[in-house]
Structure 1
Amino acid sequence: MKNLALHWKILIGMVLGIIWALLSSSMGWSSFTINWIDPFGTIFINLLKLIAVPLVLFSIIGGVANIGDPKSLGRMGGKTLLIYLTTTVFAISLGLILVNTVKPGKLIDEQSRIDNRINYEIWAASQGHTIKDGINYLHDPAFFKRAQEITELTKSDLKEVSVADKLEKAEKQKNTSPLQPLIDIVPDNFFYSLSNNGLMLQIIFFAIFFGVCVLFIPEEQSKPVLNLVNGVNEVFLKMVDLVMQAAPFFVFALLAGVVSKMAGDDIGKVVEIFKGLSWYSLTVLVGLLLMIFVVYPLIMKTFVKKIPYTGFFKAMSPAQTLAFSTSSSAATLPVTMECVEENLGVNKKVSSFVLPIGATVNMDGTSLYQAVAVIFLAQMHMIDLTIGQQLTVVLTTTLASIGSAAVPSAGLVMLIIVLNSVGLNPAWIAIIFPVDRILDMFRTVVNVTGDATVCTIIADGENMLDYHDTKNPTETFDLDS
């Protein structure tokens, strides 16, 4: 077991968690699971939440500030960032279209979704969140009996929960402006924003503002700041690494606990959860494959006519294969640069500038998956997010992608940020954990393919592209060399 790769250990933990959840439901052990196993899953979520906010803060500051002197960036830098952000928004929009069309979360039976909804409302009240769609099932006494069956709350407790949400919502809507969402992005107290995960957009705004300002101060003054930011960022990445080393056990506890809470002693509900998960996985996979085989080739064909469809994939296949196996854009970066330079004919001046930025800010696959995941989780809890709330998902996901580390499973940390931004329970990531690893492999292929596409477009626009169809593109690379 010691020599087994971490992702295999995590997969084993997931399988054992699923097996335990099935046994727990069929044998009537849900109470034991919730009391003695689930707390370790809560610890895992708390650790990820502890790391997520400072990781996003310092990653975004570093990502923006490390772009370089704004005077020397010129046209190429502006075009690079614009195209990366455009493809990210397009990927998120594609994900939202697919998940709102397929509705994978609504393919679970209605009674399971009602129970999920009741648990969501109780959680929202305990955390001080407003019910997102303005509907309160607990306001209807008809659901009290079921709520008491699936929770340990008394009837008076349930009444308090239902009324508290209505009062809070009414208070908040007294004095609101049409531009309130814009006002909410700009913090008046940054330290208050740091202490409240629901104000993640304010933290992202501050990080981008801070990073841009670092670009405009003299190098002798900005260098110590950058060194500090980069150093602190590395510490938080190491914290993620250490937490993920214990992930196999935590994943087992998290998965067993969440499924037990949702299904209780009814094994049929466990089956329903995994039925919904299958449709969710298919939806994400269709979106990712469309990005790889349709969207990027169309973008390439529009701007760079000299590279044929098959020629592009032949040139990039080594990097795509490595991306699939490592689930890391950062680990694949040397191979991506070699493929782009040697096989697509991109000038090194362009690739050395565009691709490292892409590994930091371009997370199209991760962004698409996060958009689908948030809406899927909302659907299976009978939460109908409005267009405005879905646009918040687009905005938060786009900005959070800047701070998403190019390492395996970083998307899960960012997903916590996105769930918090729309007031949903971050512990729900356990529901999609069983299929995350395989989808992570496809997401990384999307990210790397997007990097290469944008790099080639920039090179062609700068007259630094010299493509010749090669029969034998670079096939093997030694990452240690």
Structure 2
Amino acid sequence: MSKRLLVEQKHTKAGIEFIKEGLEEFGIEKKQTIKTMLLVEEVLVKLREHAKDPDENICIILNKRFGRVYVNLSLRGEKFQFIYGHTIEEVLDQENDDLQSAQEKEEKIIRDVLLKANEERLRYKNKNNMNLVEITVQKNPHAMVLHTMLALIAAIVIGVLMKVFVPSGVNEALNNTIFTSISTMFLNALKMIVGPVVFFSIACCISQFGDLKEAGRIGGKIMGFYLLTTVLAILTATGVFELLKPGNPELAAKLAGDAAAVSVSDVSISIKDTIVGIIPANFVKPFLDSNMMQLIFLAVLIGIALEKIGEHSRLLKDIFEACNDLFLKITVMLVRFIPVATFCSIVSVVLKTGPDVLLSMLAMLGTFAVGIVAMITVYCILLGVIGRLNPIPFLKKYSPTMLQVFGMASSNAAIIVNMDACENKLGISKKIYSLSIPLGATVNMDGTCIYLVIFGMALARVFGVDINGGMMLSMFFSVFVLSVGAPGVPGAGLVCLSVLLTQLNVPLAGIGLVMGLDSLLGMMRAMSNSLGDVTASLIVAKSEKKLDMEKYMS
């Protein structure tokens, strides 16, 4: 939708009124309309000051495309410095000796300060002696989701076309050289900053608590809820499997020794080893290994110690806050590349998955999807019963973030987008989500529980392994421990599944059936894991009266 108007330079009020009426028609809030009109007034002054012909009309175009609303202003003239200085202080300190009166100087400073303060909303360029200014009124709130969805659809279409028309050797080369490489680079970039983000976020969060009893109470509630949802995820997955019973025994003969690609020798499901491994041998190794449990331990320890060092406390807190803001900013920059990473990941999945394996996986994949939907229902019930919250706003507001997490395929990599959703969409206090989200990305793996139970039992059925009551209890215990202490290695889901299959006496050849779609399964696991983390954050925030109900319900 677009509206256009030409106005004389001496009669810009008509143009401002045109913009006001157009924004009201587009459904823009009154407050945002007023801000835009103020910006338009100052921009028009700038354009008139540098106009080539005082009698030439100003062109005003009002646009609305895909939810984004913006105003274009253009007038012929020479190129000029549209925004002065790098900071507000530089704008205030500028010299205006060319102006005749103090009032003119004051008006220019106010104008430049206003433009500088709204620099992110303004774009200026001079093309063929035409000064052009674009003012963003409203960004598309679902732009990232839209781009990710388009990338997802394009990836599936292009992947299928390549599978059909391009030789397999070429596809393999393209996948290894381009698609897998880009996906790996993106995930490596996110993993690079996950450690610092988790460390500084939790350390800053703990240091904000004047009363350590409050921190202990909130942490206890978070961990208690995580343990509850883990148990519920195991029970839900078992119920879904018993209802649908995926796993065709005829597949056993078709499976070959793909399991050799998965090593289980370095994996332990010992509770003792998990607890002992929380405390690192040195300060640096947890950052190098991205060991989340050890990083959380260090962050909590330092957060508590920050309150006990007297006069140096304020200085260190400021440094930690600055580091936290720095790494969050880096993450925001990286997250913009999610659509590209999603495209490459999905194309890679399509190219690596053969039609026979894909058909064999459909029943198990469908059961897994039903399990995730069932767990979402459980979350909604918990929100209503324990949190006394309407789950509809939660599902509505968090759905776009779920798609982003799906594209990331990593609970750790999704920490930042989950924290952003907690604060800006759901109204959860920073005191809660700064602790619950990084902690949940490490110990709360509801999606992984569902994955292990359904695929473990389905593959047992494929190979004719009967799971009796004792084996069922043993499996539940193993799934519980594996979900908490899942190894931080590539293909962790497959590694955990191979441990479970070994315990159930299921041949590891069954791994070959899962390998082809593990990337897609990893995306679904990460999405479900993150959903549980945010649900817990909501319920704990409500119980601690640290939930902005107005923002949550808006």
TM-score, normalised to structure 2, is 0.52
Q: Equivalent residues in 2 for 1:67-466 (5 A)?
A: 67-69=205-207, 72-103=210-241, 107-110=246-249, 112=251, 118-121=257-260, 123-124=261-262, 129-130=264-265, 179-188=272-281, 202-217=291-306, 218-236=313-331, 238-242=333-337, 244-259=338-353, 263=354, 267-293=355-381, 295-300=382-387, 312-313=389-390, 317-327=392-402, 329=418, 330-331=420-421, 333-337=423-427, 353-354=431-432, 357-358=435-436, 361=439, 367-376=445-454, 389-396=478-485, 419=493, 422=496, 431=518, 433=520, 436=523, 440=527, 448-459=534-545
For 2:349, the aligned partner's letter is L
**What's the RMSD between the two structures over aligned residues?**
4.9
1:180-219 per-position Cα deviation (integer Å, ceiling 9, x unaligned): 45444444466666666xxx6x453144224422441323
Alpha-carbon spacing, 1:379–1:11, altered in 2? closer, same or farther (3 Å): farther
Distance 1:250 1:95 in 2: 31
Alpha-carbon spacing, 1:258–1:97, altered in 2? closer, same or farther (3 Å): farther
For 1:453, the aligned partner's letter is I
Match for residue 348 of structure 1?
A: none
Residue 268 of structure 1 deviates from its aligned partner by 3.2
Residue 376 of structure 1 deviates from its aligned partner by 4.9
For 1:212, the aligned partner's letter is L
Distance 1:178 1:436 in 2: 27
Other structure's SS at 1:107 match: coil
* Conserved? CA contact 1:99–1:376, under 8 Å: yes
* Conserved? CA contact 2:233–2:447, under 8 Å: yes
* Conserved? CA contact 2:448–2:483, under 8 Å: no
For 1:395, the aligned partner's letter is V
For 1:249, the aligned partner's letter is F
For 2:484, the aligned partner's letter is L
Distance 1:355 1:332 in 2: 7
Residue 83 of structure 1 deviates from its aligned partner by 1.2
For 1:296, the aligned partner's letter is L
Alpha-carbon spacing, 1:227–1:381, altered in 2? closer, same or farther (3 Å): farther
For 2:482, the aligned partner's letter is V
Residue 326 of structure 1 deviates from its aligned partner by 4.4
Other structure's SS at 1:69 match: helix
Match for residue 16 of structure 1?
A: 157
For 1:373, the aligned partner's letter is Y
Please state which structure has a larger fraction of its residues in helix: 1
Alpha-carbon spacing, 1:256–1:417, altered in 2? closer, same or farther (3 Å): closer
* Conserved? CA contact 1:51–1:239, under 8 Å: yes
Other structure's SS at 1:72 match: coil
Question: What is the aligned residue count?
Answer: 366
Distance 2:478 2:525 in 1: 28
Percentage of identical aligned residues: 8
37-46 or 380-389, which moves further after superposition? 380-389
Residue 69 of structure 1 deviates from its aligned partner by 3.0
Distance 1:336 1:234 in 2: 20
Distance 2:548 2:347 in 1: 53
Distance 1:420 1:210 in 2: 30
Other structure's SS at 1:246 match: helix
Distance 1:358 1:193 in 2: 19
Q: Which structure's relative contact order is higher, taking Cα pairs within 8 Å and 6+ residues apart?
A: 1
Distance 1:391 1:445 in 2: 18
Residue 282 of structure 1 deviates from its aligned partner by 0.4
Residue 324 of structure 1 deviates from its aligned partner by 2.3
Distance 2:212 2:266 in 1: 46
Distance 2:230 2:539 in 1: 17
Match for residue 69 of structure 2?
A: none
Distance 2:532 2:341 in 1: 25
* Conserved? CA contact 1:277–1:432, under 8 Å: no
Distance 1:466 1:65 in 2: 23
For 1:419, the aligned partner's letter is G
Structure 1 gap segments, 5+ residues each? 134-175, 301-306, 341-350, 401-413, 468-472
For 1:231, the aligned partner's letter is L
Distance 2:475 2:348 in 1: 29
For 2:451, the aligned partner's letter is A
Residue 254 of structure 1 deviates from its aligned partner by 1.6
Distance 1:283 1:353 in 2: 32
Residue 474 of structure 1 deviates from its aligned partner by 7.5
Other structure's SS at 2:539 match: helix
1:70-103 per-position Cα deviation (integer Å, ceiling 9, x unaligned): 7613433322221122212222222223334544
Distance 1:457 1:18 in 2: 47
Residue 443 of structure 1 deviates from its aligned partner by 7.1
TM-score, normalised to structure 1, is 0.59
Structure 2 gap segments, 5+ residues each? 1-64, 67-142, 307-312, 403-416, 466-473, 499-510
